[in-house]
């Protein structure tokens, strides 16, 4: 019990505070620092707003003359699509008119041929024999006709002397007429056999290139049949090559007959061929919502082949009704209503509201025929509210 009292005294002595000691330090409040930081931020924010209010930062661009951006001399691109190079006559399949065994081919795939050039030769011996037989029949018919004419002349003399009856003269006249008709039949038969003989040589109907041989030497070719079974050779007309592309219905307003275009084959991207629209197909594809359009290549060369992939670009002329060309303005710089268009032109660090006279629409660019000049700087994008003569900072 005494030990417990002694421990209690030592504990109380440890807790006793001596007089004259240093008092504990009081903590300083931190809220004045937070208030100061907020005040500094507000001052900076207000200063920035004041600076922007006096000279707002705007995005600018320069207008260009069409000659600097034109896709060729015929105008600017308004529509482009992937298509194919095709022949105006598509494929020309040449088949036989008479039956016969294929004797030999006179042209190979890839050969460029001229009109009326021989391409395939059939075995012509049977048709040559038919011509010889027809020529012999014609000679016989002519000889018979000559004999009947002499007999008719003698009968007329005898009938005049009363030696033979009138009925005998009529028989001789009928025999002469029949012989003359036989001559005509023989001549027609000879002409027919000669045509058949001519058909044993297949010739090119026009200039073009040989695409394929459809049968082999030694096979029997017969005219007619299903799916062109009598066709021996296929060719294409390379004098009239066209670009074929499907245009969506929403873009049809940009296409018209005679419109200028260019064709760039995928195989030769550095080759550009001038063309113009020659055909708008009369029916829209309901499933795809497209209309097929053809443009004629004006100067085809040996680099263009049927069924090549190509990009067809339709062009819009630059000059308007009065012949002016003007400049090209980015569409994002165009302001105002359609009846009162304008742009903010930047000069000497200030914006000027400039009224515009518009020309044609080229998608991302608009033709301006009056109001702006080549090299002018304009405000683009979505600037803050501006007033005429206001100072701005462009970037």
102 and 161 within one domain = no
DSSP string, 325-340: --EEEEGGG-EEETTE
28-53 pLDDT, tens per residue? Answer: 555 555 666 666 666 566 555 554 44
Residue 177 in any domain: the answer is yes
3-class secondary-structure state, position 185? helix
Residue 302 in any domain: the answer is yes
**Res. 110 pLDDT band, cuts 50 70 90:** confident
Give the least confident one: 156-165, 257-266, 294-303: 156-165
Residue-range definition of the domain harbouring residue 118: 90-123+200-239
Residue 3 in any domain: the answer is no
Give the CATH number, domain containing residue 188. Answer: 1.10.287.470
96 and 228 within one domain = yes
212 and 105 within one domain = yes
More confident residue, 164 or 263: 263
173-186 pLDDT, tens per residue? Answer: 999 999 999 999 99
Give the CATH number, domain containing residue 264. Answer: 2.40.30.170
3-class secondary-structure state, position 135? helix
235 and 264 within one domain = no
3-class secondary-structure state, position 52? helix
Residue 329 in any domain: the answer is yes
All residues at 6 or more sequence positions from 293 whose CB lies less than 8 Å from its CB, including other chains? 244, 245, 246, 247, 255, 277, 279, 280, 281, 312
Q: What span, in angstroms and rounded, lies between the C-alpha atoms of 32 and 383?
A: 40
181 and 141 within one domain = yes
Number of domains in the chain: 4
Residue 42 in any domain: the answer is no
267-326 pLDDT, tens per residue? Answer: 999 999 999 999 999 999 989 999 999 999 998 888 888 889 999 999 887 766 565 677
141 and 108 within one domain = no
204 and 193 within one domain = no
Q: Is 320 exposed, middle or buried (0-12, 13-18, 19+ CB in 10 A)?
A: middle
Give the CATH number, domain containing residue 231. Answer: 2.40.50.100
52-68 pLDDT, tens per residue? Answer: 446 788 888 888 776 54
């Amino acid at each position: 019990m005494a030990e417990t009292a002694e421990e209690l005294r030592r504990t109380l002595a440890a807790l006793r505070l001596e007089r004259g000691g240093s008092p504990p330090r009081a903590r300083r409040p931190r809220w004045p620092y937070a208030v100061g930081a907020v005040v500094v931020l507000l001052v900076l924010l207000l200063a920035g707003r004041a600076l922007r209010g006096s000279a707002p930062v705007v995005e600018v661009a320069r207008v260009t003359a069409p000659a600097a951006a034109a896709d060729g001399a015929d105008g600017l691109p308004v529509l482009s699509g992937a298509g194919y190079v095709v022949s105006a006559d598509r494929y020309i399949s040449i088949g036989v008119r008479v039956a016969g065994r294929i004797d030999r081919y006179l042209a190979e795939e890839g050969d460029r041929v001229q009109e009326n050039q021989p391409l395939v030769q059939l075995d012509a011996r049977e048709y040559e024999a038919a011509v010889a037989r027809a020529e012999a029949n014609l000679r016989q018919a002519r000889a018979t006709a000559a004999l009947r004419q002499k007999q008719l002349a003698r009968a007329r003399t005898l009938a005049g002397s009363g030696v033979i009856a009138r009925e005998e003269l009529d028989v001789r006249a009928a025999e002469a007429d029949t012989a003359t008709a036989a001559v005509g039949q023989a001549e027609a038969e000879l002409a027919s056999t000669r045509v058949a003989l001519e058909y044993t040589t297949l010739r090119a109907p026009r200039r073009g290139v040989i695409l394929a041989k459809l049968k082999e030497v030694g096979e029997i070719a017969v005219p007619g049949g299903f799916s062109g079974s009598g066709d021996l050779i296929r060719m294409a007309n390379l004098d009239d090559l066209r670009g074929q592309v499907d245009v969506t219905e929403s873009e049809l307003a940009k296409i018209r007959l005679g419109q200028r275009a260019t064709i760039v084959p995928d195989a030769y991207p550095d080759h550009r061929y001038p063309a113009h629209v020659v055909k708008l197909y009369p029916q829209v594809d309901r499933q795809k919502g497209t209309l097929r359009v053809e443009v004629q290549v004006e100067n085809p060369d040996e680099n263009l082949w049927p069924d090549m992939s190509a990009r067809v670009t339709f062009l819009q002329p630059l000059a308007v009704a009065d012949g002016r060309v003007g400049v090209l303005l980015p569409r994002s710089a165009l302001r105002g209503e359609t009846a009162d268009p304008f742009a903010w032109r930047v000069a000497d660090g200030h914006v000027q509201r400039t009224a515009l006279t518009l020309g044609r629409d080229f998608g991302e660019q608009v033709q301006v025929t009056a109001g702006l000049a080549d090299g002018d700087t304009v405000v683009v994008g979505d600037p803050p509210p501006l007033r005429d003569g206001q100072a701005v900072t462009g970037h």
